[in-house]
Each structure stands twice: as C-alpha cells, then as structure tokens.
C-alpha cells in the first residue's frame, strides 16, 4: 500500500496534471469510496423500484377500468416527455416543501424524505415510465390464444397473468429492459443537482479543491461507470441466458 501511495506521490511531482490524489490522501480516498458506494446504492434502489413500477403499471394498463388506464397513460406521458433533470428538481424543490418534517433533537427540522430519498423517487418514476411501456409490449407479445388456453383450463385472470403471461412477457422484455436500466444507472449522476453525495458530486468537490486532480478524477468516473454498467449488463445477459426456453425463439 505504502509503495503504491509513494508511486502516485512521485507521479504528481513529475507530471503535475496527473494528481491521483485519492490514491495517497485518506480524506480524498474516503470521498471517492463513499461516492461510489452512494452511486451503487442509488442505482440498486432505482433499478428495483423502477422495475416494480413497470410491472404494476403494465398490469394496471390491462385494467378494464378506463380511468385507471388513463392515469397510467398520463403518468407515462409526463415522465417520458419531460427531462429527468427537471423532474428531479421539481420533486426536490417543489414537492420537498410540502413533505412533513421531524425533529430528532428538538431544534433541527429534518424533512422525512431526504435528498437521497427524492433522487430515488424521481429517478425510479422516470425509468419506471419506460419500464411500463417495455413490459406492456412484452405482455402484448403473448398471443391471445395462449391466454385462452389457460382460461379454458380454468385459470383465473390473475393466475393466467402470474403463471403464463408475465413469465413470457419478461422474456420478451429483457433486451429493452436491459437498455433502459443501463440508462438509469448513468442517469443517477443527475442526483448531483440536488447535492446527493454520489460519485460525480464527490469528484467535483475533489477537482474544485485540487484542479491538478481533474484529469485523473474524470478518468476515475468513466472507469467506475464502465465497470458498474458492465456488471449490470453481464448479469442481465446471464439472466437472459438462464431464462432461455429451449426451442423457443427467445
């Protein structure tokens, strides 16, 4: 460890623009690590909730109630057709004003939803809107005749959805879902706008304090995202392979 730190200390002596400060200074290192960790947490939470929103939304879109379908449609239009960054600011600054607060020590007023909470909510709804469309396309790809076969065997509507339509729809949806989730992970950088201490936020504070660390830190941000998205894509592909049905087109 000591040798590595010494190497980077020497490097900045020889090449002043390449200050890998977080390789030898504990405070900056701590910032980078906590930033990466926050990015991972943010990504995982948003992936999870956006998929849940997608499933529920797609199920509701098949509702017989026209009002329910209209609400879902309105949700999709709003979140798909407006910039995610503006949505985030709106959630945090506009809706954030109306959220109740609590007081841990009798002095401070802390809103029950933090900026991290708002980032998760806003990004999940944003990506969820696309997921609804993705799952809906998958559901529509399941032939009516397959559903009829299930109902003629006595399956209820809910059983048909759960055991037949949904498993088939997921397989059809996976490639498109894959793309959307990759975009979502990258979009988490926008949480920077409401001071969520994720990787980009921490990186900017580092290079503001140490302009000599600009190039190395940007490089770091790229590398971290390449690795994170790479892991996501690999696990999605693995999942896709595992779900492949022998003799079926997917």
What residues line the site for another protein (CB under 8 A)?
143, 145-146, 148-156, 159, 163-164, 167-168, 171, 245-249
Q: Are 191 and 119 in contact (CB under 8 A)?
A: yes
CB nearer to another protein: pick between 30 and 148: 148
For residues 129 and 58, what is the distance between their CA atoms, to the nearest angstrom? Answer: 10
CA 184, 243, 228 angle in degrees (round to 5)? 30
> Minimum distance from CB of 248 to another protein (Å)?
4
> Minimum distance from CB of 213 to another protein (Å)?
52
CB nearer to another protein: pick between 136 and 171: 171
CB nearer to another protein: pick between 75 and 155: 155
> Minimum distance from CB of 240 to another protein (Å)?
14
Neighbours of 242 (CB within 10 A): 7
Helix (H) or strand (E) holding 88: helix 84-89
For residues 17 and 24, what is the distance between their CA atoms, to the nearest angstrom? Answer: 16
> Minimum distance from CB of 47 to another protein (Å)?
24
CB nearer to another protein: pick between 90 and 155: 155
CB nearer to another protein: pick between 129 and 177: 177
> Minimum distance from CB of 164 to another protein (Å)?
6
Please name the residues in contact with 54: beta carbons below 8 A apart, sequence gap of 6 or more.
Answer: 128, 130, 131, 132, 134, 135, 177
């Amino acid at each position: 460890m000591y040798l590595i730190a010494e190497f980077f200390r020497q490097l900045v002596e020889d090449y002043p623009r390449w200050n890998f400060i977080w390789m030898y200074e504990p405070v900056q290192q701590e910032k980078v690590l906590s930033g990466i960790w926050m990015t991972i947490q943010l990504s995982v939470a948003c992936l999870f909730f956006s998929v849940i929103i997608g499933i529920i939304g797609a199920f509701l879109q098949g509702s017989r109630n026209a009002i329910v379908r209209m609400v879902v449609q309105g949700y999709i239009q709003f979140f798909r057709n407006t910039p995610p960054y503006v949505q985030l600011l709106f959630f945090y600054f506009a809706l954030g004003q109306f959220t109740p607060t609590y007081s841990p020590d009798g002095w401070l007023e802390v809103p029950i939803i933090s900026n991290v909470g708002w980032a998760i909510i806003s990004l999940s709804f944003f990506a969820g809107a696309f997921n609804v469309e993705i799952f809906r396309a998958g559901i529509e790809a399941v032939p009516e005749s397959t559903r009829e076969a299930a109902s003629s065997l006595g399956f209820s509507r809910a059983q048909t959805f759960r055991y037949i339509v949904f498993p088939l729809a997921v397989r059809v949806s996976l490639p498109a879902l894959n793309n959307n989730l990759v975009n979502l992970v990258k979009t988490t950088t926008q949480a920077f706008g409401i001071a969520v201490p994720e990787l980009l936020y921490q990186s900017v504070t580092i290079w503001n304090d140490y302009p000599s660390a600009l190039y190395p830190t940007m490089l770091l941000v790229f590398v971290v995202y390449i690795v994170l998205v790479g892991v996501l894509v690999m696990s999605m592909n693995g999942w896709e392979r595992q779900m492949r049905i022998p003799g079926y087109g997917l």
